[in-house]
Amino acid sequence: MKEIDTKTKQNSCRIHMMPSAISDDDISALFNGLLGIVKRKAELDSREEVLSLNISRDRLMKLVDEKQAEINRLKNEIIYLKSELGKKSDNQ
């Protein structure tokens, strides 16, 4: 009976295998992969920044156009008011 118990215990044990040693090629591949990810992230960030700058530039150009139109309107109003003032001074 002891023999059977001993054999059962031997058959039920777990064997743990150590992984093979990591080679320099594995480390290089991992490093190159991480480096590629970092480069891609930097590229995407710079593209996003350029797009953001283009959108900001477009908004600024629209604002400049609006302000230029307002300036022209105010200039015309000043010219009109000067002419009205000149007419009033001529009539008196």
Q: Which tokens go with 30?
A: 């991992």
**Does position 19 have pLDDT exceeding 90, yes or no?**
no
**Rounded mean pLDDT, 59-68:** 94
Q: Which residue has the higher pLDDT, 82 or 6?
A: 82
CA dihedral of residues 60, 62, 63, 69 (deg, nearest 10): 140
What does the pLDDT read at residue 18?
A: 65
- Alpha-carbon Rg for the chain, nearest whole angstrom, is 41
**Rounded mean pLDDT, 5-21:** 65
- Identify the CA nearest to 42 among candidates 15, 74, 50: 50
Average pLDDT, the chain: 84
**Does position 70 have pLDDT exceeding 70, yes or no?**
yes
Entry pTM: 0.46
What is d(CA 61, CA 77) in angstroms, rounded to the nearest whole number?
Answer: 24
**Rounded mean pLDDT, 37-62:** 90
Q: Which tokens go with 89?
A: 């001074």
